[in-house]
A = this chain, B = another copy of it.
Amino acid sequence: MTEAQLKDLLQAYKAGQVDLDTVMGHLKTLKEEDLGFAKVDHHRALRNGFPEVIFGQGKTKEHVAAIASRLAAAGSTVLVTRTTREVYQEVAARLPAAEFNELARTIVVAAGEIRPTGGRVAVLSAGTADLPVAEEAAVTAAVMGNEVERIYDVGVAGIHRLLGRVDLVRRADVVIVVAGMEGALASVVAGLVDRPVIAVPTSIGYGASFGGLAALLTMLNSCAAGIGVVNIDNGFGAAALATAITRLKKV
């Protein structure tokens, strides 16, 4: 039942064409989405200014380009994650404004305006091999309206590198820590700052890293409080959570 149909029903009821029980009967069988869906949509509308995101992995280049074109035409800024240069070329052929970040494996099409969150997100990475995931987080956080500070290659085996940047880290509202191998960076950072820390284990490593499991367990077991963990290699998810947090500054 659409909103229009619902109005018709109520007007027919008022006009005496249907009785109260009939109206009640119809209302009881209203499917949740009839109203709820609209409510959710409206709710989504409130988020205007945020980009639409396409998870690129497993999609053909034609598929990604088609979706991106449709979203951009509707005035949305578009972010494609886990993508390749080949896909980018397909997208750019249709949307010349598309920009490719090879390290982050992202495409951004700045078609709509991004509402600034007013928040600052620091993205830390332990090693250079963690950079693709860190950049995915950084690009996502930026395109979602955050000011982003990249603080890379500050792994715990050379703790002075991190300590030398503590003030920079402390200036952030939210800190994303990206680390593979033993993943110990998150604990050290959370001990140094009072801000929420989002930990992203990466699959970087070999042998007993078991595809990122070691880093994941390290982060979950941190003796420092204030850490939330996302899935292995999920730079996008970390930035999405960070944005959900920084948006609170304007609530």
- Please report A residues at the B interface, Cβ cutoff 8 Å: 3, 6-7, 10-11, 13-14, 16, 20, 23-24, 27-40, 42-43, 46-47, 57-58, 119, 126-127, 129, 155-161, 163-167, 173-174, 181-184, 187-188, 190-192, 194-198, 201, 203, 205-234, 236-237, 240-241, 244-249, 251
Contact = CB atoms under 8 A, between A and B. Distances in A.
Contact of A159 (B30, B188, B207, B215): B188
B32 A10 contact: no
A71 to B, nearest CB: 16
B127 A223 contact: yes
Given A127-B223, A226-B237, 16 more contacts: A10-B23, A13-B13, A29-B39, A32-B166, A37-B164, A156-B191, A163-B163, A183-B184, A183-B221, A194-B247, A196-B245, A197-B244, A206-B231, A208-B212, A214-B220, A248-B249
Contact of A231 (B10, B28, B220): B220
Given A164-B36, A182-B221, A222-B181, A206 B187 contact: no
Given A226-B241, A232-B207, A31 B221 contact: no
Number of copies of this protein chain within its complex: 8
B223 A157 contact: yes
A74 B223 CA distance: 24
B218 A183 contact: yes
Contacts of A42: 28
26 contacts: A7-B20, A33-B160, A34-B164, A37-B164, A43-B194, A47-B194, A156-B187, A158-B191, A159-B163, A173-B251, A182-B184, A183-B184, A184-B187, A184-B218, A196-B244, A201-B207, A206-B233, A208-B231, A210-B217, A213-B217, A214-B220, A225-B236, A225-B237, A227-B228, A227-B237, A227-B241
A46 B194 CA distance: 10
A77 to B, nearest CB: 16
Contacts of A161: 33, 37
Contacts of A126: 223
Residue in A20, A43, A161, A230 with the greatest tally of chain B CB atoms within 10 Å: A230
Nearest to A246: B248
Nearest to A232: B207
